[in-house]
Amino acid sequence: MDPSLAINLVSLLISLIALAISAYLAHRQASAAHGANLIPVIFNSFREWRQPDFVQTQKYILASLSIDHDAEMGLSGIPEPLQSQIDKVAIFYDDLGKLVAYRALDWKIVVGTFGVTTVKVWAELRPFIYREREIRGTRHMACFEDLACRAKDNPPVELHKKMGLRSDPGS
């Protein structure tokens, strides 16, 4: 083999290795930046979920909505100001569902954190939302429904086990 050909091949090999390493590091940096950009979204969701008016409305949905109001009215048939309060809760879950559906947030983070309540709130709002779909002629709150289905199919307790979350056996 010609020495200059061998040198060229070694140079080419080194260049390809450097290119592969650069591509790998660029991918890792982009992933880290994406994760860092999502931190404010996640913390804002946590904050909203803990607001007293949000918590109170969610409790009302779970305990009294279907007793006090007929689902045949749909969401739009619920009187104000209750309708706006319920919309705020439903839209919260629909927005989380959008972030999951469009892969802006990892569904495991959302389901692992909000999954149990998502399923419960969806179960109570489902008849109202389905009626609202008939009224509007749209697939109203489709991302909320998808999120609830993901949460129902992947219970948070199972996700936590897969993640290796530990329990304190001494408590």
* Residue 103 placed within a domain: yes
Query: Do residues 32 and 55 both lie within one domain?
Result: no
* Residue 170 placed within a domain: no
Query: Do residues 112 and 80 both lie within one domain?
Result: yes
* Average pLDDT rounded to a whole number, residues 96-106: 89
**Which of the four pLDDT bands, split at 50, 70 and 90, describes residue 15?**
confident
Query: Do residues 59 and 90 both lie within one domain?
Result: yes
Query: Do residues 74 and 28 both lie within one domain?
Result: no
Query: Do residues 85 and 23 both lie within one domain?
Result: no
Query: Do residues 126 and 155 both lie within one domain?
Result: yes
Query: Do residues 6 and 74 both lie within one domain?
Result: no
Q: What is the DSSP string of the chain?
A: --HHHHHHHHHHHHHHHHHHHHHHHHHHHHHHHHHHHHHHHHHHHHHHHT-HHHHHHHHHHHHTHHHHS-GGGTGGGSPTTHHHHHHHHHHHHHHHHHHHHTTSS-HHHHHHHHHHHHHHHHHHHHHHHHHHHHHHTS-TTHHHHHHHHHHHHS-HHHHHHHHT----TT-
* Residue 44 placed within a domain: no
Domain containing residue 140: 51-163
pLDDT beyond 90 at 25: no
Query: Do residues 57 and 84 both lie within one domain?
Result: yes
* Average pLDDT rounded to a whole number, residues 139-149: 97
**pTM, entire model:** 0.75
Query: Do residues 57 and 111 both lie within one domain?
Result: yes
Query: Do residues 137 and 56 both lie within one domain?
Result: yes
**Which of the four pLDDT bands, split at 50, 70 and 90, describes residue 38?**
low
Query: Do residues 86 and 119 both lie within one domain?
Result: yes
| Domain count for the chain | 2
**Which of the four pLDDT bands, split at 50, 70 and 90, describes residue 86?**
very high
* Residue 43 placed within a domain: no
* Residue 169 placed within a domain: no
